[in-house]
Amino acid sequence: MAALPAKMQAVLLRQGGYSADAIPASEVRAVDRWLEQAEIDLPRPGPGQVLIKVIASMVNPSDLAFIQGGYGQPRVAGAPAGFEGVGTVVDGRGFLARRLRGQRVSFVVGPQGSGAWAEYALADAATVIRLRRDLRDEDAAALIVNPLTAAAMVDLVPEGGAFIASGAASQLGKLMAPLARERGKRMIGLVRRDAPAESLRALGATAVLNETSENFAAELAETLKAERPTVFLDCVAGSISARVFKAMGKDSRWVIYGKLTPEPPEILEPGTLIFMRKKIEGFWLVTWLAQTGLLRKLRTIKQVQARFADGRWHTDISARVPLRQVVSDLPKALQQCDGKVMITVQ
Amino acid sequence: MAALPAKMQAVLLRQGGYSADAIPASEVRAVDRWLEQAEIDLPRPGPGQVLIKVIASMVNPSDLAFIQGGYGQPRVAGAPAGFEGVGTVVDGRGFLARRLRGQRVSFVVGPQGSGAWAEYALADAATVIRLRRDLRDEDAAALIVNPLTAAAMVDLVPEGGAFIASGAASQLGKLMAPLARERGKRMIGLVRRDAPAESLRALGATAVLNETSENFAAELAETLKAERPTVFLDCVAGSISARVFKAMGKDSRWVIYGKLTPEPPEILEPGTLIFMRKKIEGFWLVTWLAQTGLLRKLRTIKQVQARFADGRWHTDISARVPLRQVVSDLPKALQQCDGKVMITVQ
C-alpha cells in the first residue's frame, strides 16, 4: 500500500454548535455561509478506529440539517462535514482495524468525528460494513443512513398493517415502498406533485395522494377508511401532518423523523390521545442503533446489502459533485428532484 | 330487605352521541341543555350485574365532559348520567352478585349503563369495591375515578424522579401530592392562583408555580433545572402546556389526561421528539383498567381504601347537591374552587 500523504482536501464546517435558522434543502441557494473547502492534516485514527480513503460520499437530509446547526448534535467548527460514504481502509488501530486493511467498506462517522466529505475519513472499526464485490459504489455510499432508517421504520408497522409516509417521493420513500410490499404491509405515500405517484405505485405503494390536490381531504378520508393505517412516518411535521394525524383512527402513532416546514404543528384533538390511545413520538437512527441488539442490526445490514446487490433496491443518483466543487455546486445539485446527490472523491 | 319500588328519580342525559361544543366546568352556567330530572323505571340487573341503592354520587370532570358529548364514549339519550358513587347492593344476578347483597360498595358504571346520578344504579359485580366500615361516605363516593387515576399516574414517574402536574389545585392534585412524597417522587404543581400553593406544599408538593405570574417562565426554567422532571401530567393541553413540554429535557413524556382549554396546543420543537426522545401520549383510566393485571388493580384499590381510612387522603367536598336539585343547582356549585361536588341521594 502506498505511503499516506500528510495533507488532504476536505469540505469543512465553518460554524460550531447549534443554530435555529435551518432552512429546507430545496430552498438552500448557497452553502458558503456554513461550508468551506480547505487543505488540512490527514486525521489520525484513535484506538479502535480505521482511516478510510474515501471513494464517494452522500448528501443526506441529515447532512444539510447538521451543517446548518439544526440537527440533534452540536457542530465542531473546522471539522469535515458529511456522515456517510464508501471507501477503502488504509490504516487503523487495534486488531479489528488491522484486519480491515485493504477492504472496501461502507461507513458512517460520528458527528464529532472527521467527516465523509473529505479525501480521508475516520470511522469506528466495529461499525464499518465489509462489502460484497457485486455492490455498486453508488449503492455502497448510501448503504447505511437511508436503508437502515427505512428498514427500522417499516418494522414499526404491525404485521399485515398499513402506514402513511409523508415526503414519499424521497429516496427513503422509494426504499420503503418495495420493502413494505414484500413484508405484506401497505404504504400510503403523501407527495406534493403528481409526477412521482405512478413510479411509487410501481415500486410497491398501495396508494399515493397529492397533498396539494383540491380533493386531498376527501381522498385521504377514503384511503384511511379502506386501509386503516396505524403508523404515520412523517418527515414534514407541518399543518398537513397535524390534519393527517387527526384523521387517523384508534391506537395510531405519529412518528416524526424530520422537520421540513418551519411552523410548529398543532395537536388538533388532544382528546384522541386520551380516548383513542394515539401517540406522538420521534424516530432517530442514532437512537435505534443504540437501542437495538447487535444480532438484529447485523441481520438488517446483511438484508440491506442483499437488496441492493440483487436490484430490489437501487440508489437514484440525480447529481454527482466532485469534492473540490461542493461549496460552489451543491446548491444547484440539490434543486433536482427525487434523487440523491453524491460527492465523488476519487 | 324491603321490596323494591317500580320507579325511581334520576338525572337523565337529554342528548345522544358526541358533540364538539364542550366547555370547561368552571364556565358552565346552565346544564338544562344536557340534563333533565325525571321519574323512570328501576333498571334491571343483567347477568353478573348488581343493582345498587345509591347513597351519594360524585361530580367529576369526566362527568361534565361526558354529559356535553366531549368524552371518549357516546352518550345514550334518556339514560341516567353519573359515573361514580357509593351505595348498598339490593339485588343482582349471578353468584358474586348474590354474595354482595346488603353490602355497602363503591362503584363505577359503564358509560352506556344506568348512571350513578339516580336513586338506583347498575354496576358489574366484579368491579364494585366492598368497603371497610371506617370509610366515610364522602370518601367512598369518590374512591375510584380520582384515586386510581392519581395512583396510576404517579406510577408513570420513574423511581426517585420528578414530575409536573398542571391544574394541581384540583382534587386529583391534592391526592397526588402526598402519594408522590411518600413514594420518594417530587411533584411540581402548576396552578392559576396563589391561594392553593401553600396547602399543596403542605400536602407534599416539592414546588408549586403560578402559571399566571409574571416570573413564570424564569421560575419554571429554574425548577426544571433543579428537579429535572421527565413526566408532565397535564389536564389542560393548552399553549402553556406546550411551552412547559418544550422546556423539559431528554426522554420527557407529555401525558395528556384532560382538555381544559379550547385551542389546540402546538408541538413547539418537533426536533426534540427526534433527538431528545420526547413523547406525547394520553392517559385514560378506562385504558389503564383494561391493560393492568387484576392483582395490581386489587392491590392499588386496597391501598386507596387504607389511605382514606387512616386520613392520609381526604375528599374535600365543597358543595352537596340533592339529587332532585341537580339540574337547577349544579352550575352554581361548580363555581366553588378547589373542592368536589357531591350529589346526595338519600
pLDDT tens sequence across A104-137: 999 999 656 789 999 999 999 988 999 999 999 9
Helix (H, G, I), strand (E, B) or coil at A141: helix
CA separation for the pair A78, B167 (Å, rounded): 49
B197: left (phi over 0), alpha (psi -120 to 50) or beta: alpha
CA separation for the pair A242, B266 (Å, rounded): 10
CA separation for the pair B278, B282 (Å, rounded): 14
Q: Between vectors from CA A251 to CA A248 and to CA A253, what angle results, nearest 5°?
A: 70
How many Å lie between the alpha carbon of A278 and the closest alpha carbon of chain B? 7
Q: What is the largest CA-CA distance in chain B?
A: 66
Does the pLDDT at position B28 exceed 90?
A: no
Calculate mean pLDDT across residues A197-213.
Answer: 95
> Which residue(s) pair with A281 in the sheet?
A255
Provide the chain B residues 174-233 that lie in CB contact (below 8 A) with chain A. none
In terms of DSSP bridges, do strands A186-191 and A207-210 run parallel, antiparallel, or are they unpaired? parallel
CA separation for the pair A200, A268 (Å, rounded): 29
Determine whether the interchain pair A282/B264 forms a contact, defined as Cβ–Cβ distance below 8 Å: no
**List of chain B residues whose C-beta atoms are within 8 Å of the C-beta of residue A289:** none
* b/e map A157-194, b = 16+ CB within 10 Å: beeebbbbbbbbbbbbbbbbbbbbeeeebbbbbbbbee
Does the pLDDT at position B112 exceed 70?
A: no
How many Å lie between the alpha carbon of A283 and the closest alpha carbon of chain B? 5
Per-residue CA distances from B294 to B289, B291, B298 (Å): 9, 9, 6
Determine whether the interchain pair B277/A257 forms a contact, defined as Cβ–Cβ distance below 8 Å: no
* Residue A234 main-chain phi, psi, to 5 deg: -125, 120
CA separation for the pair A109, B335 (Å, rounded): 61
Judge if pTM exceeds 0.95. no
Helix (H, G, I), strand (E, B) or coil at B343: strand
Q: Tell whether B237 is within 8 A of chain A (Cβ).
A: yes
The secondary structure of A4-29 as a DSSP string is PPSEEEEEEE---B--S----GGG--
Count of helix runs (H) and strand runs (E) in chain A = 12, 15
Element (H, E) at A196: helix A195-203
Q: Tell whether A250 is within 8 A of chain B (Cβ).
A: no
**In the predicted model, what is the mean pLDDT of chain A?**
93
Helix (H, G, I), strand (E, B) or coil at B338: coil
Percent of chain B with pLDDT over 70: 98
CA separation for the pair A157, B47 (Å, rounded): 39
How many Å lie between the alpha carbon of A241 and the closest alpha carbon of chain B? 12
Calculate mean pLDDT across residues A23-47.
Answer: 91
Q: Tell whether B309 is within 8 A of chain A (Cβ).
A: no
> For A225-234, A254-263, A307-316, which range has the lowest pLDDT when averaged over its residues?
A254-263
Nearest to A319 by CA among A304, A300, A339: A339
Provide the chain A residues 71-110 that lie in CB contact (below 8 A) with chain B. 71-73
Calculate mean pLDDT across residues B279-308.
Answer: 91
Q: Tell whether B266 is within 8 A of chain A (Cβ).
A: yes
**List of chain A residues whose C-beta atoms are within 8 Å of the C-beta of residue B256:** 270, 273-274
Say which residue, A196 or B252, is predicted with more confidence.
B252
